[in-house]
Amino acid sequence: MNQQWNTQTYDTDMAFVSQFGESLIELLHPQPGEQIIDWGCGTGDLAAAIAARGATVTGIDASAEMIQTASDKHPHLSFVLADGQTYVAEQPVDAVFSNAALHWLTDANGAAASIVASLRVGGRFVAEFGGLGNIASIVAGLPQAFAAIGCSHKLHLPWYFPSVGEYATLLEKHGLTVDLALCFDRPTPLEGLEQGFQRWLNTFADGILSVLTPTERAEVLSSMEQKLKSKLYQDGRWVMDYRRIRIVAYKRS
């Protein structure tokens, strides 16, 4: 699956991604002079917020569109096109930060190994991403919508949504000590009022939908919207059923 990103739409309609990530920066508590990697930096806004605290930040992302936009928006920062499942920093850093990115890295073992290899001994890992049950309505609804148009064979779900116990165990196996591991519901209002759901699906499921013809894609979008509106449309706007994992861990000696 090839996930393409329209970064202008992403920054406009999906601004909540960075907004919710701001509280994660407080948990990171970046210090002046620290070397920090933003793992899956997107368009770079949270990397810039961390850098504003005095840290030296490098943002990495596997999307060329994201890296280009981040570099254009924040030319004073360093951004690297890299796969977070295999990337290793040239020099170990004080912290790795990641917001709303790790659920795109389906090779969780590779990502964990890469993060640990990029941290100095005692360095910290602070992250938030989709956990088990995240967008459950979408995960259940897409197979039904694809089946209804005879396209089940075309469906590939690209997300990794582990349980909190599963993910904490994975990190411990790779040499991190987990100090905080939470899983919580975070209903997330979307921009775009009545159009918000289709905008969200066109952004975050573009790689899934891109295998369909325009007619098939329109049928899936319409079917999903009709079936989920009674559950997810509240007071004139769509509210997505997000469920997040939040992690703080340290690299053992």
Q: Is 123 within 8 Å of 63 (Cβ atoms)?
A: no
Question: Span 7-134+159-191+240-251: which CATH code?
Answer: 3.40.50.150
Residue 27's φ and ψ, nearest 5 degrees, are -70, -35
Amino acid 50: pLDDT: 97
Amino acid 13: pLDDT: 47
pLDDT above 60 for 15: no
Give pLDDT tens digits for 123-144. Answer: 999 999 999 999 999 999 999 9
**Residue appearing with tokens 């990530």:** 21
Question: Residue 226 corresponds to which amino acid?
Answer: Q
Taking residue 70's Cβ as centre, other Cβ atoms within 10 Å add up to: 25
Please report, for residues 101, 174, 198, the alpha-carbon distance to residue 195 in angstroms, rounded to integers and kept in the order given.
24, 43, 6
pTM metric for this prediction: 0.90
Q: 62 is written with which tokens?
A: 């596997």
Between 18-27, 80-89, 194-203, the lowest mean confidence (pLDDT) is in 18-27
Write b or e for each residue in 180-193: b if 16 or more Cβ atoms lie within 10 A of its Cβ, otherwise e: ebebeebebebeee
Mean pLDDT of the chain: 92
- Spell out the domain ranges in the chain: 7-134+159-191+240-251
Q: 23 is written with which tokens?
A: 């509280």
Give pLDDT tens digits for 108-124. Answer: 999 999 999 999 999 99
